[in-house]
Amino acid sequence: MRNRSKKELYWWCQLGGWMMYGLTMVFFTFVFDSKNNNIFYNKLLLIILTGLFFTHSLRLAIKKLNLLPPALYKKWWILTFLLLTFLVLFNLTNSALAEWLHLYNPRVKVSVEKRFLINLVSDSPLLLVWVSIYYLWHYIELGTKTEIQKVKLESLVKEMELKTIKAHINPHFIFNALNSIRALVDENPERARSAITELSNLLRSSMQAEKMETVSFERELSIVKDYLALEFIRFEDRLKVEYEIDEDTLDQPIPPMMLQTLVENAIKHGLGKQKKGGIIKIISNFTENHYELIVQNTGQLTTAGDNEGFGLSSTRNRLKLLFGQEANFQIQDLGNNMVEAKIIMPVRDIIAVVQ
């Protein structure tokens, strides 16, 4: 429905703009009393019709070649070549049709080549003005979309402020961790002190998550290791963790608590339902021009309703708001009693913080 309204708006602007040009030219003929004859009006109609055709064709070519902002910054030379091509075709077509339809004064007839050069100077600004207005519209639209995306992201972050602990750290996990720590106080005081530090780090990171748009993968991995260390106390030898980490990915920015959410989900819906426990495998690497973050776990994929809690739904929302169509999140059953959660993100160099 939205695409249809945008298409209708485009055609209203297209037709209105060329009609405004025609009325302006007619107005000036009456003011200056020049070219006020049938040849002038027929030639004006020809320019409007060919202008409509070539500007619409130029729009289709721009969209086909993905020359709209922000992609334009890397393809400006393609747009320049395309625009020069259309300028030549536009004026060449007008010159040829004017010759064929005899839209000239027989007493001052000039060659087609000379008429083409005259048209190239006099009519080319029409296409240049059209392109300027077209791109100005899209830059304004891009700025508006960016502001809307920023507001949505800030709104989501504010929502997470109230749900961070519930979403990212299951209350049952906290209770289990505290009970495990209590049991360690007499048996292994040193391990109990370490567990308290790990739980403190995890809670602190969770409370700070609402302030961050992205954090480095290295920092996120450190939090997850604290989380898994606490789960080791409960699962003991039933929990095995494997890491396949490309060191070059440690600086890759990712949304905060995203990896922890996936790992917690893997334990809650995977290992937690296995009597013999299982494996958690964390994979981080670059593939082609993308970054992949993968969590594999022992278990079977249950219904969407069991897996799509606030944590995973917020993961999808944050990826969409931060990276748009460049990011993807999917959970699939690999078979052999293994489930995989995969996040694909564009490679980023800068870590942004929402104030």
The reported pLDDT for the residue numbered 304 is 47
The reported pLDDT for the residue numbered 306 is 45
Element (H, E) at 133: helix 124-168
CB atoms within 10 A of CB 8: 10
The reported pLDDT for the residue numbered 293 is 94
Residues 13 and 287: their CA atoms lie apart, in Å, by 44
Which range among 19-28, 264-273, 323-332, 346-355 shows the weakest confidence by mean pLDDT? 346-355
37 bridge partner residues = none
Which of helix, strand or coil describes residue 151? helix
Residue 295: pLDDT band by 50, 70, 90 thresholds? Answer: very high
The reported pLDDT for the residue numbered 165 is 41
Which tops the pLDDT comparison, 292 or 127?
292
Taking only the tens place, the pLDDT of each residue in 191-235 is: 878 888 887 777 776 666 556 677 889 988 988 888 888 888 777
Q: What is the mean pLDDT of the chain?
A: 76
The CA-based angle 200-293-251, given to 5 degrees, is: 70
Taking only the tens place, the pLDDT of each residue in 105-137 is: 666 666 666 767 776 777 778 888 888 888 888
Which of helix, strand or coil describes residue 164? helix
Mean pLDDT of 251-278: 83
The reported pLDDT for the residue numbered 292 is 93
Residue 354: pLDDT band by 50, 70, 90 thresholds? Answer: very low
54-57: long-range contacts at Cβ-Cβ below 8 A with a sequence spacing of 24 or more? Answer: 54/86, 54/89, 54/90, 54/93, 54/127, 55/14, 55/127, 55/130, 56/14, 57/86
Identify the sign of the CA torsion 301, 295, 211, 223: positive
Residues 97 and 53: their CA atoms lie apart, in Å, by 14
Mean pLDDT of 159-176: 54
Q: Left if phi > 0, otherwise alpha if psi is -120 to 50, otherwise beta: which for 35?
A: left
Strand pairing category for 290-298 and 338-346? antiparallel
CATH code 3.30.565.10 region(s) in the chain: 169-346
Which range among 8-12, 120-124, 166-170, 332-336 shows the weakest confidence by mean pLDDT? 166-170
Residue 162: pLDDT band by 50, 70, 90 thresholds? Answer: very low
**DSSP-derived secondary structure letter, 142:** H
Mean pLDDT of 240-267: 87
The burial of 291, by beta-carbon neighbours within 10 Å (0-12 exposed, 13-18 middle, 19 or more buried), is given as: buried
Q: Is 102 in contact with 30 (CB distance < 8 Å)?
A: no
Element (H, E) at 254: strand 253-254
Mean pLDDT of 1-12: 73
The reported pLDDT for the residue numbered 352 is 42
Q: What spatial distance separates the first Cα and last Cα of the chain, rounded to whole Å?
A: 36
The reported pLDDT for the residue numbered 351 is 42
Structure tokens at 137: 């519209």
Length of the chain counted residue by residue: 355
Residues 6+ apart with CB under 8 A from 255: 213, 214, 215, 315, 318, 319, 322
User: Is the pLDDT reported for residue 26 higher than 70?
Assistant: yes
Structure tokens at 232: 């080791």
Structure tokens at 13: 């602007």
Which range among 184-198, 261-275, 311-325 shows the weakest confidence by mean pLDDT? 311-325
CATH 3.30.565.10 for domain 169-346, yes or no, is yes
Strand pairing category for 328-335 and 338-346? antiparallel
The reported pLDDT for the residue numbered 294 is 93
Mean pLDDT of 21-47: 74
- Helices 124-168 and 189-208, axial angle in degrees (round to 10): 150
